[in-house]
Structure 1
Amino acid sequence: MTPRNVRLQSVAFLAQIPQLERLLLHTLIVDDLDYTPLLSLSNLKKVRVMAARGMTPTHDELMHRLPWDG
């Protein structure tokens, strides 16, 4: 079975959960394309985000600045 993509308006609310250690957004489409709040999550140990055209920061930037899983 193929996972379905889910849409979310924003991931800004994640900045209010600083204790997050693992974050998998592989099948999530963020409508505002702003993934900057992820950079403030200093306790992250594993992250995976689906690439999207126009996302900020870019997918490559996120891979280099966060503890990427996969």
Structure 2
Amino acid sequence: MLGRDWVTASESGGCVEVRRGEDGGVRVRNSRDRGGPVLDFTPGEWEDFVRGVNRRTFDLPEWHPGWHAAP
């Protein structure tokens, strides 16, 4: 369960941090730019997002040379 403190949301210890918002939603930020923008999700939006991740809805196609960086 998320609390009010930022927690790293990746197994590698980088990239994304999340925490519970005061409204019960979820806040997400880049762990490498903690002073940068924060995404705010309502509880329903977050549930939909997590459901999509679990269903692999957001999986990207294989990398191709036109992208800026290889995975």
TM-score normalised to the size of structure 1?
0.22
Structure showing greater radius of gyration is 2
TM-score normalised to the size of structure 2?
0.22
Structure showing greater relative contact order (alpha-carbon pairs closer than 8 Å, 6 or more residues apart)? 1
| Structure with the higher fraction of residues in helix conformation | 1
